Amino acid sequence: MNKYLGVLFVVVISQQMSVVLAQKVPPFSISRPLSTQIELATRTANSSNYTVEFTNQIYKKICQVKFRIQLPGTATLAKYWNMNSVSGTDNQFTLSGNLNISPGQTFADAGFTTVLSSKQCADGGGN
């Protein structure tokens, strides 16, 4: 029976991820197979662009990553790149189908843009 190991864990900015390894690995040998870093790349008056980096921290290749982007209630996901939306889910994504993150390597080509939602204040001020 050929199984892949999927691991679900919480990372910075309340993201959940599952990781599929290219080879079978005993479950006890993995604590955190993937680290994630999210950085603000640019910001305008009403939007922010973020880059996302996924680093393989184990000795096996990672061939699939599934994750969810959870934004604060005042923000909306406007666009994203080098990520595939998972049909029928709310802000859940996978990285490219031909993903292959070798041990110690980083995939740093994904990112997203958020737009701040705002309402006009009762006194007419604000956006």
pLDDT for residue 100 is more than 80: yes
Instruction: Find the largest Cα–Cα distance for the chain.
Output: 66
The CATH number of residue 106's host domain is 2.60.40.290
Whether residue 69 lies inside any domain: the answer is yes
Whether residue 121 lies inside any domain: the answer is no
Task: Tell me the chain's radius of gyration from C-alpha atoms.
Answer: 17
Whether residue 66 lies inside any domain: the answer is yes
pTM for this prediction? 0.68
Mind listing the pLDDT tens digit for each residue in 52-95? 999 998 888 888 888 888 888 888 899 999 999 999 988 899 99
Whether residue 126 lies inside any domain: the answer is no
Mind listing the pLDDT tens digit for each residue in 26-58? 444 456 788 888 999 999 988 999 999 999 988
Contact 23, 60 (CB under 8 A): yes
Q: How far apart are the C-alpha atoms of 83 and 30, rounded to whole Å?
A: 25
pLDDT for residue 116 is more than 90: no
Q: Which domain holds residue 89?
A: 6-116
Whether residue 80 lies inside any domain: the answer is yes
**Domain count of the chain?**
1
